[in-house]
Amino acid sequence: MKVRELVERFEQYAPKQIAEPNDPVGLQIGSLDAEIHNVMTTLDVRPEVVQEAIDNNIDFIFAHHPVMFRPAKNLDLSNPQNKMYADLIQHHITVYAAHTNLDSANNGLNDWLAEALQLVDTTGLVPGYTEAIYSLTVQAPKIYANAVQMSLVDAGAEITADGSSGYTFQWDGLIQYVTPVGVQPGASAVETPAEQDNTRIEFEVSEGHLTDVLKALYDVHPLDQPIYHLVKLDDHRLQYSMGRIGKLRQSMTVKELAELCKKTFKVNGLRVVANELDRLVQTVAILGGDGGKFYHIAKQKGADVYITGDVYYHTGHDMLASDLPVIDPGHHIESICKPKLAQLIKQWASENDWSLQVAESQINTDPFTFI
């Protein structure tokens, strides 16, 4: 299969347009037309990860963090970063990155982090990209209805405003139509009305999927000019958000939650910014990566405690002054993406009959050691 087949399926799930502005997501190195057989998921693309890929005959690296945040100033191979680029190209390894679009996607990285802590009743934390939603009603002969429905759902016609998928509604009826005939003096202008069993299928389609869905409709529908109605839902939009806020099943102290984070995210140490370690908390906001600047949003939304990485020194003082306890387990907790992405790609491979082997990187790329 080609790289673009996997990329197109992934971008139905986490579209590039929902990424934060100027985030260099998408194809990093290689070609969308390259053939792939062995995929490896990773948090970071580092020289040791690239060597792991070479050793295991990987031809596609799927990363969360972009490999090229900044342009290369030269191609001097004494620079380890440039040498890594050269190794990837020399061994025909394509690299693709999904960063803040994966952070904001429904059932994406921040949902995985919230699920790991068993948070319930979760909603988005930091509002991001909003996307228009359309109501699409398609009419088709009953015998073709199932094929039309499946094709349009495969193209993305199933996303609702709350991010749920697989939503369609259909009802059956009888369509009557007449066929004009040659008009002669004394003759009827039309034949006797004919009847046909018909099905109407109603979908909700996000704006980003609309072009693909309409193309699929024309490809699969038995009529050259399908009958459909398309209406933009002005009061109904798909909201993407970074981070999640939800509740623990039972309250615990800040210290107990910090210990739970250590165990859940497999970190040997973390930092806590709190005036009282014994304070009871239950409403938890979490945002993977560098989310310190959003602490005030967590507080405004009623969080008792905020979990995020890379908290800066002066931001920590502001958090104390705001009296919002913050747990910083580090940026590397996003490595939860490795098994989750591998699971997704395996699922899509099974559904689409792709001949792919999928593995997770076994390299720990956390640069910090606690002693």
Tens-digit pLDDT profile for residues 94-145: 999 999 999 999 999 999 999 999 999 999 999 999 999 999 999 999 999 9
CA-to-CA distance for 178 and 195, rounded, in angstroms? 9
Tens-digit pLDDT profile for residues 332-370: 999 999 999 999 999 999 999 999 999 999 999 999 999
Structural domains in the chain plus CATH codes: 3-101+335-360 (3.40.1390.30), 104-127+242-334 (3.40.1390.30), 129-239 (3.30.70.120)
| 81: pLDDT strictly greater than 80 | yes
Give me the phi and psi of 247, to 5 degrees please.
-120, 140
| 26: pLDDT strictly greater than 70 | yes
Please state, rounded to an integer, the average pLDDT across all residues of the chain.
92
Predicted confidence at residue 168, as pLDDT, reads 66
Q: pLDDT band for 190, please (50, 70, 90 cuts).
A: low
Mean pLDDT in residue range 281-300: 98
What is the pTM for the complete model shown? 0.85
- Compute CA distances 115 → 54, 110, 140, 365, whole Å: 33, 9, 41, 23
Mean pLDDT in residue range 320-336: 98
In sequence order, the 6+-apart residues with CB closer than 8 A to the CB of 50 are 61, 84, 87, 88, 93
